[in-house]
Amino acid sequence: MSRSYGIPLLGALAAIAIPCAAHAVISQQFFLSDTNKLYYVIVSNPSAGAFGSQVTSIMMTSGTGLPINETSNDPPDPVVTSLGTSLTGGILHFPPLSSIQRTELLTGFTSNTIENMGNPVDGVFDPHANNGDGLLTLPGGMRTVAFSGGGTEPISPITTATGAGVTFVPAAADTMVSRVIGSAHLTNVSTIVFPNPAGPPVVTSAGAMCVGGTGTLCDPANGVAVNPDCPGGTCSDFGGEVPGQNVTLDDTLMSRVGNPASQGAAVDGFFLPNMTAIIVFLVDDGAASFGLTADGFAVTGTCSETDLPCVMDLDCPPMETCSNGLAARDVVNTTGDIDNGQFRPTPTNTPSNTPTRTNTPTATPTATNTATATNTATNTATATRTAADTATATATNTQTNTATRTATSTATRTATATATRTVTATATRTPTNTAGPSNTPTATAGAVGICRTKGFWGTHSCPETVAGASFCEKSSSQNITQQVITAAGGSIMVCGKTLTDTHLNHQHSAEEALCVKVEGDQVLQLASQLTAAALNCVISGLPKTCLGSPIAGPFAFCNLACSFGMTSTVINGHRIDCVNAIDCANNGGTFNIATGSCSGGPTCSDNGAPCSDDDLSACENPDTATCVGAAGSCHNQPLCNRDLETPLCFEPPGPAGSSKQCKAARQNDCTIFSGAPPCAQ
């Protein structure tokens, strides 16, 4: 399936937070007691196409959880990757890993949702019970979970294996992995896995890797024969199963989950049949915030007698049922979920001048903690790109073709992986192995030193010959956009795509990124705003990633969100519209992350109402009004920076040299995402 954008992924979260269309989805809820005991509930919810979910990794972090769930790119790449990690922070109360506890895999439910509306039969959480440690009553009203172990369901450290057969949950282990998914380069990120057979060592499946050349990890979705992460080579080793594998983070679509060659009649992680099973993880307060993500694969069931894949009884031969057996538990898609929140602030004793003491809360930001379950997580996509590709795969990347199963089934299923690659984050501290936003993203996103809108950059490009020579539409025009790209080292990276020139009808053209229909696809709108922002950063003397600028956080998060087909992200607990945020900065305004409002930006020339180049609807007369930047704003600064390594000065900038080409770009079918064809190249 070709790369899609604009389709959310992940489940409940929705796991990244949205339900994965047409497949079973991992879903989660969390509850926080009065004394900061965190109860983390993981289930699988049904949708056409899968019988349940195989959870193969989780993350419970003190910062921001980050689910990685890859879209199918088959053909040519039949392998999909799913893992739970963190954008910031470390594992809660770690070391040791055994500080995190869990129940057994609990089965026999007719509903797996904690409604938390006061009726124990529907599931309810009491944050005050057990001296503030809380009590979780599961659906049905008879089974309970308590942090102290006083519930009906026993709890044990996650480093202890429990259950047998389909309820078996292996002992957990922590490990480090590296992957490239889209434009996200994850280098030695931490995840919690459930090896089977038990480790050590932990041997994970393999991500895609370069063959030949000087590269290491890659993503075939970025190109097989030519891939930016594989200089001189190809991205033709798709990864997947490896010898000795006991952890599955990468698996082949429509093959039995895991690696039968190394795991036999077993698989790592734990299986959650849709609607009927629940597992609860518990941990004590150990940080100001937390991020929770569970990730794995949507899978089929197995016909009870013939070992055929199934989703329902009708998929099996007569007299058989669709069961939770492993033999034909085939991978249909990736799935995951994410929640990020904050613990209650811990009071600190502040002595006064009198014998009495007053507990003064610390300055830790507070969350509005209620007994209500957070059952509707938000799909948030964000992350940072590593400064260099220095990852090394821990597993031997020799793919083993596992035993094939050729069975004839009366029901034909065509599995389509419709979820999009998704990552999420809300950001607190940037991991040491990535280059990204500052430690704490600011509450506002302001403009850089010099800024122009996407409309300016799109019309101040010029058509180019095959050899790269500019021939502007007007004799006194200049190709400002191309010169700034050249000053950036010859390329800028937007939405996972490398832009190098201003050619018409080329997928690597900044012109095709900048000139899109105003009323069109929102991902294309975001790509155009990010392209303008990158150019603004370069002319202002900043890196093309905008690091160190007032928009560093929003640019990094929104740029990665865009590469996964998303147009919103979460920063400091607030979900923002990326198009509005970056557009505000490009127009010289300041975007308030908490309120989603833009201030200090340009206004209509006839009535002073806020406006942008693309939206004059608030003006008294949109047909004649112009959008005027505020005095002293970056929008009014000279387009001149003589401090660059190659000094640039475009004063005066001259007339637009690519108005006709920009119009043609809006009308053609070529985009930076579409490939060739419809693009010429």
Tens digit of each residue's pLDDT (9 = 90 or more) over 648-669: 999 888 888 888 999 999 999 8
CA distances 386 to 62, 218, 491, 574, Å, are 21, 13, 17, 24
pLDDT exceeds cutoff 80 at 339: yes
Q: Report the number of secondary-structure helices (H) and strands (E) in the chain.
A: 9, 35
Nearest of 185, 296, 203, 211 to residue 241 by alpha carbon: 203
pLDDT value of position 279 = 98
Helix axes 552-563, 578-586, angle to 10 degrees: 130
pLDDT exceeds cutoff 90 at 217: yes
Q: pLDDT band at 559, cuts 50/70/90?
A: confident
pLDDT exceeds cutoff 90 at 507: no
Beta strands in 199-243 (DSSP E): 209-211, 234-237
pLDDT exceeds cutoff 50 at 364: no
Cβ atoms of 333 and 23 closer than 8 Å: yes
Nearest of 364, 353, 555 to residue 448 by alpha carbon: 555
Q: What would the pLDDT profile of 148-195 be if each residue is shown by its tens digit?
A: 889 999 999 999 999 999 999 999 999 999 999 877 788 899 999 999
Segment among 74-88, 112-126, 301-315, 361-375 with least mean pLDDT:
361-375
pLDDT exceeds cutoff 60 at 108: yes
Segment among 307-316, 549-558, 577-586 with least mean pLDDT:
549-558
- Specify the higher pLDDT residue, 185 or 102: 102
pLDDT exceeds cutoff 80 at 25: yes
Q: What would the pLDDT profile of 12-23 be if each residue is shown by its tens digit?
A: 222 222 223 334
Q: pLDDT band at 406, cuts 50/70/90?
A: very low
pLDDT value of position 19 = 28
List helix spans (H) across 308-373: none
Q: What would the pLDDT profile of 620-646 be if each residue is shown by its tens digit?
A: 898 888 877 777 788 888 899 988 888
Percent residues over pLDDT 70 in the chain: 80
Q: pLDDT band at 568, cuts 50/70/90?
A: confident
- Specify the higher pLDDT residue, 656 or 147: 147
pLDDT value of position 43 = 96
Q: pLDDT band at 345, cuts 50/70/90?
A: confident
pLDDT exceeds cutoff 90 at 120: yes
Q: What would the pLDDT profile of 519-547 be if each residue is shown by its tens digit?
A: 778 999 999 999 999 999 999 988 888 87
Task: Round the average pLDDT of the chain to a whole number and report it.
Answer: 80
pLDDT value of position 535 = 95
pLDDT value of position 48 = 59
pLDDT exceeds cutoff 80 at 225: yes
Nearest of 662, 620, 413, 619 to residue 518 by alpha carbon: 662
pLDDT value of position 615 = 75
Beta strands in 205-252 (DSSP E): 209-211, 234-237, 250-252
Hunting for tokens 């800024």 — which residue is that?
A: 451
Hunting for tokens 């921001």 — which residue is that?
A: 64
pLDDT exceeds cutoff 90 at 253: yes
pTM over 0.75, yes/no: no
User: What is the rounded distance in angstroms from the CA atom of residue 595 to the CA atom of residue 570?
Assistant: 12
Query: Looking at residues 334-362, what average pLDDT do you find?
Result: 61
Query: Looking at residues 95-114, what average pLDDT do you find?
Result: 95
Query: Looking at residues 448-474, what average pLDDT do you find?
Result: 83
> Could you say which DSSP state residue 509 is in?
B
Q: pLDDT band at 424, cuts 50/70/90?
A: very low
pLDDT value of position 321 = 95
Cα atoms found within 13 Å of the Cα of residue 402, Cβ hemisphere only: 26
Cβ atoms of 83 and 10 closer than 8 Å: no
pLDDT value of position 563 = 77
User: What is the rounded distance in angstroms from the CA atom of residue 493 to the CA atom of residue 500?
Assistant: 9
Segment among 12-21, 439-448, 578-587 with least mean pLDDT:
12-21
Cβ atoms of 112 and 162 closer than 8 Å: no
Q: pLDDT band at 52, cuts 50/70/90?
A: very high
